[in-house]
Structure 1
Amino acid sequence: MSAPTSPVRTRPAPGTPGARAAAAPRPPRRRPWVRYALRTGSLLAALGLWQLLTTLDINLWLRFAQFPSATDVVREFADRLGTGAYWQDLTDSLTRILTGFALAAVLGVAVGTAIARSPLVSDLLGPVLEVCRPIPAIALVPVAILMFPSNEQGIVFITFTAAFFPVMVSTRHAVRALAPVWEEAVLTMGGGRGRVLVSVVLPGALPGILGGLSVGIGVSWICVISAEMISGAYGVGYRTWQDYTIVDYPGVFVGMTTIGVLGWLTSTAVELAGRRLTRWLPRTETTGRSAPSRKEAATP
């Protein structure tokens, strides 16, 4: 009886895609501090251009004569950071966003999964949701005023509606795109529908769900600010509109900057949470495929 032989590793034939990929040099990766420096520099360059255009009172196709300068906005921002009204507005807007977005995330995933998995649910809810989906959430302000006893509940409803449809649609498409072979494997091993849902459907659709959540949080900020401008009593959107009515343009830009920073922070939080939840997924490096080690290259 002959001893078992170990498998022989062969090199890719010269000229094949495998050989070209193995021989391709790895592009240099930028150091973290270089990336941060580039991002900071681009932001400072944009602020410098803003300051230059407003200082020179440029009035060509775009008019910057009445535009507040970057230094005016910074001074106004610094003044408002020391007031309680600013932090109350920020807290109210964040509370509305987080409440509406949390409801949209839970119900959007549940409804999207149910529509994708059940023909009965798809027939019952699909037509109604598809008719309501094109309606802008801000157009529901009169409906919210009629339905809810307080403006606060109405604003949360508008925020929920804005985030619900991106999450629901992304979940529906992600669940329907799953390969049936994994579900069949679980069923073959004796697993039930609950096991399929927990072990196959939700993990497999998670990248698509996270994409819908990322879109939903951005749309929520757009709609909550608009709702606060129309029917709010507090909040960043309400304060921004009040500044506009009294022609306080630096205050308007403070509100716009606050909205941008809050939107960026919440979107980043959703993205980081998504990366943590999908650590088990293989990551594709943007810097290119790594070159083989010397040992691998020398192995026949």
Structure 2
Amino acid sequence: MATPLASPHTKSGLPGLPARAARTASPTRRRALRVGSLAIFIAAWQLAVHFQLSLGIVKFANVPSPTDVVPALVALLHSPKLPMHLSASVIRVLSGFSAAAIVGVGLGLAIGRYRVLEDILLPPLEVLRPIPAVAWIPLAVLMFPSSEISMMFITFIGALFPILLNTVHGVEAVDPRLVATARGLGAGPLRLYAEVVLPGAAPAIFTGLSIGMGTAWFCLVTAEMIAGQYGIGYFTWESYTLQNYADIVVGMALIGILGMGSSGLVKYAGHLATPWYRARGTRQ
């Protein structure tokens, strides 16, 4: 009698994934690795400042250390201005990001499906894309009647192009056979978009939204240089002008944490909205 073939499903319950690999990919171990990598980074930063490390171009002699930054962070957390800084920045980023999501996804769905729109709209957008956010400040001041709208526009510009380009690439990557099948079954343009194009492009769209949220926070300091009185970006820039170097790092850290958290929320929403994409496979 022939020996039965081994099942492709291993102890991990996944095809081709050994039990050992499944154990190393456990959520607890991954969290421990991430916390450990962050602790190593902070320790390396402290040592570099303590020993005044010099790498030729990069010198740590004047860089604030973590032990300098922690008291500055505690002072900011107890400051009555912190809620105003946070609320001002969050409103500006969310306003710019929301507008960028609407415009970027809408244009991306149209450009990705119709070549004539790609030929008309994409060239000027590609010319505008490399322009840095700081270069938009004078024009934003001239275009908009209030500084608040100007700051929202800068975050809008930062978020727009990652969302737009990822949406275009996601639409272009939709299997043409699915489109042809849907058309053969009598699907009209709206139904084709709703049931074929949008679900097929959704993973790329959410990737663009996650990147766009991060770049919106990236542009926050640039935006709040215009005329901000409150905001984390304004706090960071003001700390530089007043030479409060520890506060600069505090502002940078807050922007990084807020950006990482909001991008993570967008990514999580994308996981919930695209279960068919998550079911395609796993990573070791």
Whether the aligned pair in 2 keeps the contact of 1:108 and 1:168 (CA below 8 Å) is yes
Q: Deviations over 1:248-295 (max 9, x none)?
A: 1111111111111111101111110110111122242223xxxxxxxx
Q: Deviations over 1:98-152 (max 9, x none)?
A: 1111111111111111112233433432332222222223211111000101111
> What amino acid is aligned across from residue 55 of structure 1 in structure 2?
H
Within the candidate set 16, 33, 42, 1:38 is matched to: 33
Q: Find the residue that maps to 1:242 and give its secondary structure.
A: helix
> What is aligned with 2:20?
27
What TM-score do the two structures reach when normalised by structure 2? 0.88
Q: Find the residue that maps to 2:229 and give its secondary structure.
A: coil
Please state if 1:233 is matched with 2:206: no
Distance 1:32 1:76, change over 3 A: same
> What is aligned with 1:265?
261
Q: CA deviation at 1:233?
A: 2.5
Distance 1:135 1:186, change over 3 A: same
> What amino acid is aligned across from residue 146 of structure 1 in structure 2?
L
For residues 112 and 194 of structure 2, the distance between their equivalents in structure 1, rounded to whole angstroms, comes to 15
The unaligned stretches of length 5 or more in structure 2 are none
Whether the aligned pair in 1 keeps the contact of 2:221 and 2:237 (CA below 8 Å) is no
> What is aligned with 2:61?
65
> What is aligned with 1:293?
none
Structure 1 stretch displaced more, 124-133 or 65-74: 124-133
> What is aligned with 2:282?
285
Structure 1 stretch displaced more, 155-164 or 34-43: 34-43
Q: Deviations over 1:64-85 (max 9, x none)?
A: 2322221111111011101121
> Percent identity among equivalent residues?
42
> What is aligned with 1:78?
74
For residues 208 and 24 of structure 1, the distance between their equivalents in structure 2, rounded to whole angstroms, comes to 26
Distance 1:222 1:24, change over 3 A: closer
What TM-score do the two structures reach when normalised by structure 1? 0.83
Please state if 1:104 is matched with 2:97: no
Within the candidate set 134, 143, 149, 2:130 is matched to: 134
For residues 238 and 202 of structure 2, the distance between their equivalents in structure 1, rounded to whole angstroms, comes to 41
Whether the aligned pair in 2 keeps the contact of 1:105 and 1:164 (CA below 8 Å) is yes
Distance 1:60 1:131, change over 3 A: closer
Within the candidate set 157, 161, 168, 1:161 is matched to: 157
CA RMSD of aligned residues (A): 2.5
For residues 127 and 29 of structure 2, the distance between their equivalents in structure 1, rounded to whole angstroms, comes to 48
> What is aligned with 1:292?
none
The unaligned stretches of length 5 or more in structure 1 are 1-9, 288-300
Q: Find the residue that maps to 1:155 and give its secondary structure.
A: helix
Structure label with greater radius of gyration: 1
> What amino acid is aligned across from residue 281 of structure 2 in structure 1?
T
The count of aligned residue pairs is 274
After TM superposition, list the pairs within 5 Å mapping 1:48-59 onto structure 2. Answer: 48-59=43-54
Whether the aligned pair in 1 keeps the contact of 2:133 and 2:222 (CA below 8 Å) is no
